[in-house]
Amino acid sequence: MMQGQQRRNLLGPALLTVLLLIAPLMIPIYWTMILSEILIMGLMAISFNLLLGYTGLLSFGQGAFFGLGAYSAALMLQGGYENLFLILFVGMLVAMLAALAVGIFSVQLDEIFFAMITLGFGMLFFSVAHNWRTVTGGSDGLPVFSLPSLNFFGSQLTFYAPVNMYYLIFVLVFIGCSLLWLIVHSPFGLILKALRENKQRVSFVGGNVKILRIAAFAISGAFTGLAGVLFCLFNNMATPEFMHWSFSAKPVIMSVIGGTSVFLGPLFGAAIFFVLEQIIIQFTENWMLFLGIVLVFIVLFFPEGVFGTLRNKFFKQGSK
Amino acid sequence: METLLLNTLNGLSWGMLLFLIAVGLTTVFGVLGVLNFAHGSLFMLGAYLCMQSMQYFDSFWLGLLIGPLCAAVLGVLVEKYLLKRVYGRDVSYQLLLTFAILLILDDGVRMIWGSGYHVVDPPAILSGIISITGQDYPVYRIFLIIIGPIIGTLLWSFFHFTKWGKIIRAASFDNIMAEGVGINVPMIYTAVFALGTWLAALGGALAAPQQSLVPSMGEKIIIESFIVVVIGGMGSFPGAFVGALLLGLLGSFGTVFAGNMQMAIPYILMAAILMIRPNGLFKKGV
């Protein structure tokens, strides 16, 4: 029965994967680029939700790790290191080490205090990126002039065309999400959920709350860094804004819009966020005002996020 | 010696503004349990409303009186129709709701007053410059340094010596018990949020003559007042005072010592204090 349930749960994601694979063939270039952005921010939001939805930690400093990934990629490309795998590896590693350091100091706090200290650390990275002009380019950011290419069965694959870039992003986001899915459904993921429900009990049965939380924070940081690397390649730019708290608010918004209790919820949240933006900016410059109104509406009327609430309404299954 | 004095005065005047913002934030958190992301936007709104009513009545003092009161009315509506619905919900929903209010206020102000700079002149009596040990110093900042502790003392006396103040403290200490002894807790919540809004807007109105008005002016101060509230101890009145002065002085002296990196000082301070005392310097207790 467990097997049947698992199989049914995989049907949706499989369908989504196929749709995302063929999407660029059917939509205009502009929307392919929007879709690329949705995938990147979706990966960031899903790795953020490893903390909020699964571990019960509200991090308000994810932008720092996203930015560190982006800056690592930009610095390596400027320095002439053009191996894609090396860039991905270093970007994730740097973000993970930073998350490890921040995590060690932050995880003893809970709820709003955790949100505040991570916000503080995020802004610490922001002020360094913003003021250390010689390395980070200050508020102008670091531009990227050449993108890495890939040797694909003998032919050189470049990523300057938006469609090629889309597939690169798609493959890496797919791998990232699959790894996160495996983590969430591993025994480790189960302990994280236990932490969310009651950390005292985890500690009573012998779990080391601090180390478990640090591990979750570092993993989340690494995948957020991966999203940052991808965004730097996509955007040809790393800027300090990635580390600002208002950027760190984005995965929070996306996760809550989509629903924190569903694995792919944050990805849907990202999609809703970007599509809304595209629709609203056609009518008005004041997109923030309308985003605010939509957010108020969602917080008040969709207690489990749009996706989560709809799912519960139609399938009446509350299991996580 | 002169730079020391001037830096101290600068730090104190900024610290006093920060105190007004932080004390509202901390009181709202202490009683309602909600950390209000939109608090900085209410500060910004206060500055704009002060400017508007000042133009209407042609008096800074009337602007200072009426602007924040208008904001407080808005605060009542926000609490009654929005915040009330998220008490007891997950922290992420509370933060997101107040963040949404921030977006609406910032963009709303941009729609009404435009995104350009506005300037508010201080009243004639406070607009001059006085000489302090040979250095010229704006009178208005001295006024801020004096008015801060006055408002602080009035608030503290209100909380400690009046019936209403005591009721608010009771509700913040244990709201179920307060309800049990016949206190109308939902009304207290509304009143406290209105008070917090009024304080933020008053801070904005007081800040208006010494900084230019832009819709994003709330962003810097909200983050700094978060830090004040966190290092002072969430919900603590003296904590807000000490934290605000500490941050104000560090801000003005930081430029001397750390130059470019002074932006990072508040965050380092916050991380350091939270590691030593996870609940901040002072215990909760309005």
Residues of B in contact with A296 (CB under 8 A): 82, 97, 100-101, 104
ipTM of the complex: 0.81
Q: What is the pLDDT of residue B202?
A: 93
The SS3 assignment for B137 reads: strand
- Quick check: B225 pLDDT over 60? yes
Mean of the pLDDT values across residues B221-248? 86
- How far is the alpha carbon of A204 from chain B, nearest alpha carbon, in Å? 22
Across A42-46, B45-49, B182-186, least confident range: B182-186
Q: Quick one: pLDDT band at residue A181, thresholds 50, 70, 90?
A: very high
For the stretch B12-32, pLDDT in tens is: 888 888 998 998 898 888 888
- Quick check: B1 pLDDT over 90? no
In chain B, the residue whose alpha carbon lies closest to the alpha carbon of A286 is: B107
Phi, psi of A143 (to 5 degrees): -80, 155
Q: What is the pLDDT of residue A5?
A: 54
- Quick check: A66 pLDDT over 70? yes
Residue that is written with structure tokens 């009446």 in the block: A316
Q: Is A128 left (phi over 0), alpha (psi -120 to 50) or beta?
A: alpha
Type of residue found at A279: I
Other Cβ atoms within 10 Å of A303 Cβ, number: 16
Q: Is B113 left (phi over 0), alpha (psi -120 to 50) or beta?
A: alpha
Cα–Cα dist B29/B171, whole Å: 12
For the stretch B113-169, pLDDT in tens is: 888 888 877 777 777 777 777 777 888 888 888 888 898 889 888 988 998 888 888
Query: Which residue range forms the structural domain that includes residue B94?
Result: 13-215
**B96/A121 Cβ within 8 A:** no
The more confidently predicted of residues A219 and A148 is A219
Q: Are strands B135-138 and A150-152 parallel, antiparallel or unpaired?
A: unpaired
Number of domains in chain B: 1
In a domain, B235, yes or no: no
- Quick check: B198 pLDDT over 80? yes
**For residue B166, what are its two tokens?**
């005591």
Using CB atoms, which residue from A121, A253, A288 is nearest to B96?
A253
The more confidently predicted of residues A112 and A275 is A275
The more confidently predicted of residues B255 and B28 is B28
Residue that is written with structure tokens 């101290």 in the block: B8
Residue that is written with structure tokens 């270093």 in the block: A90
Share of chain B above pLDDT 70, in %: 97
Q: What is the 3-state secondary structure (H, E, C) of chain A?
A: CHHHHHHHHHHHHHHHHHHHHHHHHHCCHHHHHHHHHHHHHHHHHHHHHHHHHHHCCCCCCHHHHHHHHHHHHHHHHHCCCCCHHHHHHHHHHHHHHHHHHHHHHHCCCCHHHHHHHHHHHHHHHHHHHHHCHHHHCHHHCEECCCCCCEEECCEEECCCCHHHHHHHHHHHHHHHHHHHHHHHCCHHHHHHHHHHHCHHHHHHCCCCHHHHHHHHHHHHHHHHHHHHHHHHHHHCEECHHHHCHHHHHHHHHHHHHHCCCCCCHHHHHHHHHHHHHHHHCCCCCCHHHHHHHHHHHHHHHCCCHHHHHHHHHHHCCCCC
Other Cβ atoms within 10 Å of B256 Cβ, number: 11
Q: Mean pLDDT over all residues of chain B?
A: 85
Mean of the pLDDT values across residues B83-95? 83
Q: What is the pLDDT of residue B284?
A: 61
Type of residue found at A153: F
- Quick check: A319 pLDDT over 60? no
Alpha helices by DSSP H, chain B: 2-32, 39-57, 60-81, 91-113, 139-161, 163-173, 175-180, 185-207, 217-232, 237-257, 265-276
- Quick check: A1 pLDDT over 70? no
**Positive/negative CA dihedral, A167, A173, A179, A184:** negative
Chain A contact present for B276, CB below 8 A: no
> Which residues does A262 contact at the CB level (< 8 Å), separation at least 6?
A268, A305, A307, A308, A311, A320
For the stretch A8-48, pLDDT in tens is: 677 888 888 888 888 888 888 889 899 999 999 999 999 99
Q: What is the pLDDT of residue A63?
A: 95
**For residue B216, what are its two tokens?**
């994003």
Residue that is written with structure tokens 């500490």 in the block: B246
Mean of the pLDDT values across residues A54-77? 93
Cα–Cα dist A290/B237, whole Å: 36
Q: What is the pLDDT of residue A172?
A: 94
Mean of the pLDDT values across residues A225-242? 93
Q: Quick one: pLDDT band at residue B269, thresholds 50, 70, 90?
A: confident
Using CB atoms, which residue from A58, A113, A117 is nearest to B92?
A58
The SS3 assignment for B74 reads: helix
Cα–Cα dist A167/A149, whole Å: 13
**B107/A286 Cβ within 8 A:** yes
Cα–Cα dist A134/A168, whole Å: 31
**For residue A283, what are its two tokens?**
């009518």
Mean of the pLDDT values across residues A249-273? 89
Residues of A in contact with B233 (CB under 8 A): none
Residues of A in contact with B267 (CB under 8 A): 120-121, 123-124, 127
In a domain, B109, yes or no: yes
**B100/A295 Cβ within 8 A:** yes
Interface test with A, best of B103, B106, B262, B281 (most A CBs within 10 A): B103
Using CB atoms, which residue from A111, A124, A299 is nearest to B267?
A124
- Quick check: A68 pLDDT over 80? yes
Mean of the pLDDT values across residues B206-219? 85
Residues of A in contact with B268 (CB under 8 A): 124
**Contact between A230 and A93 (Cβ < 8 Å):** no
**For residue B91, what are its two tokens?**
């922290």
Q: Quick one: pLDDT band at residue B33, thresholds 50, 70, 90?
A: confident
Q: What is the pLDDT of residue A13?
A: 83
Report DSSP state, residue B53.
H
In a domain, B265, yes or no: no
The SS3 assignment for B138 reads: strand
The SS3 assignment for B213 reads: strand
Q: What is the pLDDT of residue A2?
A: 47
Q: What is the pLDDT of residue B196?
A: 92
In chain B, the residue whose alpha carbon lies closest to the alpha carbon of A253 is: B96
Euclidean distance between the first and final Cα of chain A, in Å? 16
Q: What is the pLDDT of residue A151?
A: 73
Q: What is the pLDDT of residue A42?
A: 95
Chain A contact present for B260, CB below 8 A: yes
Mean of the pLDDT values across residues A205-229? 92
**Contact between A222 and A66 (Cβ < 8 Å):** no
**B278/A295 Cβ within 8 A:** no
Q: Please work out, in degrees rounded to the nearest 5, the angle formed at the alpha carbon of residue B13 by the alpha carbons of B7 and B17.
A: 140
Chain A contact present for B110, CB below 8 A: yes
> Which residues does B133 contact at the CB level (< 8 Å), separation at least 6?
B1, B2, B5
Phi, psi of A156 (to 5 degrees): -80, 120
Say what angle helices B139-161 and B2-32 make with each other, to 10 degrees.
30
- How far is the alpha carbon of B105 from chain A, nearest alpha carbon, in Å? 8
Cα–Cα dist A76/A79, whole Å: 5
Mean of the pLDDT values across residues A106-131? 86
